[in-house]
Amino acid sequence: MIFDVKIIISLKSGMLDPEACAIQHALSNLGFETEYLNNSKLYSVGIKADDAESARARAEEMCDRLLANPVIQSYSVEVTE
């Protein structure tokens, strides 16, 4: 069975996000005031697995080994069928 797994990778709280600051600055130059702006990566991955739990475990392993930098980033995994 193929599960659609949404992986969101964002900077850990407290980390400075220069890209988000630059975007927020550019938006305000265009006249858009924003209270805050957070910037994350969203991966939508198709994983063949027997059940949702094993799809989740494999996605978390992908994050640990490649997709997320454990020092500065955190990730969240959402599995849908």
Residue 49 CA to chain centroid, in angstroms? 22
Q: What's the closest the beta carbon of residue 41 comes to a second copy, in angstroms?
A: 7
Q: Which is nearer to a second copy, 33 or 71 (CB)?
A: 33
Q: Tell me the residue type at 64.
A: D
Q: Which is nearer to a second copy, 65 or 71 (CB)?
A: 65
**Three-state DSSP class for 75?**
strand
Distance CA 25, CA 75 (A): 26
Q: What's the closest the beta carbon of residue 61 comes to a second copy, in angstroms?
A: 7
Q: What's the closest the beta carbon of residue 14 comes to a second copy, in angstroms?
A: 16
